[in-house]
Amino acid sequence: MILALDIKEREAIYSLVKEVLPFIEFFKVGAVIFTRFGPGLVYDLKQRGCKVFLDLKYHDIPNTVYEACYQAAKIGVDMLTVHSLGGYKMMRSAMDGVKRYEDENGKRGPLILAVTILTSIGEKELHDELLIKGNLKDVVLKMAENALNAGIDGVVTSQNEISIIKNFNKDIVTVVPGIRPKWSERGDQKRITTPYEAIRSGADYIVVGRPIYAHPHPKEAAIKIVEEMESAGR
């Protein structure tokens, strides 16, 4: 499980990490808190023994994404995201940026994940706003295929598309956001699932945020979700 640290106060972040660290060791740093606290937050988390998922969804010209991924590797993140809509050349450049870090340092760089279609996007938004034809699953699969062809390690996708992605390539890493236990609120995401359903569907990682950090007792919420994941087997 990866815990999304979508909290705006630095000390509250550290307090939460300290409370759940025995049960969760992977933490997502998104655009809001990275913009506010910068690389220093990543350094602090790494010093506490955490793994860091830098979720900035890089989507720019290839050279810019190359440099961004190289710098992300240098600050020590374990996983990062690019947006598949940036195209093959951009994703290939992301991989090249991490490879440069690996060649210079002689160690493994971060996994690179491609975001396919945001979990806040449904069929209506896909067609009416983004003007992308085809059904959602077909579009997600095409985005995943493009990412794999570029050498990307995995994809961020909803639970609904895990099976078709794994059928396409069983070794691709799948990270599923939009996780909501049955006892939590739905929030603003359209394509959600429970921890149990995601693990049973073949997710390698799940990302959980509000059900834990907004809970009156985050440690208890984390334990409940871990138990639900374990009950799914696999």
CB 116 within 8 A of CB 85: no
User: What CATH number is attached to the domain comprising 212?
Assistant: 3.20.20.70
C-alpha of 94 from chain center: 16
Q: What pLDDT, in 10s, does the model give residues 10-60? A: 999 999 999 999 889 999 999 999 999 999 999 999 999 999 999 999 999
The pLDDT score that the predictor gives to residue 198 is 92
Where the chain has pLDDT below 50, the residues are none
Q: What is the 3-state secondary structure (H, E, C) of 61-90?
A: CHHHHHHHHHHHHHCCCCEEEEEHHHCHHH
Environment class of residue 26 by beta-carbon count within 10 Å: exposed (0-12), middle (13-18) or buried (19+)?
Answer: middle
Q: Is 134 left (phi over 0), alpha (psi -120 to 50) or beta?
A: left
* Dihedral Cα 163, 168, 173, 176, nearest 10 deg: -30
89 catalytic? Reply is no
Q: What pLDDT, in 10s, does the model give residues 184-195? A: 665 555 556 899
Selecting among 28, 51, 57, 74, the annotated active-site residue is: 57
Domain count, the chain: 1
Tokens 């961004």 found at = 68
Residue 175 identity (one-letter amino acid): V
The pLDDT score that the predictor gives to residue 159 is 83
Cα separation, 232 vs 183, in Å, equals 17
Give the residue among 118, 135, 111, 108 at the shortest CA–CA distance from 84: 118
Q: Is 83 left (phi over 0), alpha (psi -120 to 50) or beta?
A: beta
Cα–Cα distances in Å, from 1 out to 130, 134, 205?
A: 31, 32, 6
The pLDDT score that the predictor gives to residue 151 is 92
Cα separation, 23 vs 32, in Å, equals 24
Which range marks the domain in which residue 85 is found? Answer: 2-231
pTM recorded for the entire structure: 0.90
Give the count of beta carbons closer than 10 Å to the beta carbon of residue 90.
23
The pLDDT score that the predictor gives to residue 65 is 98
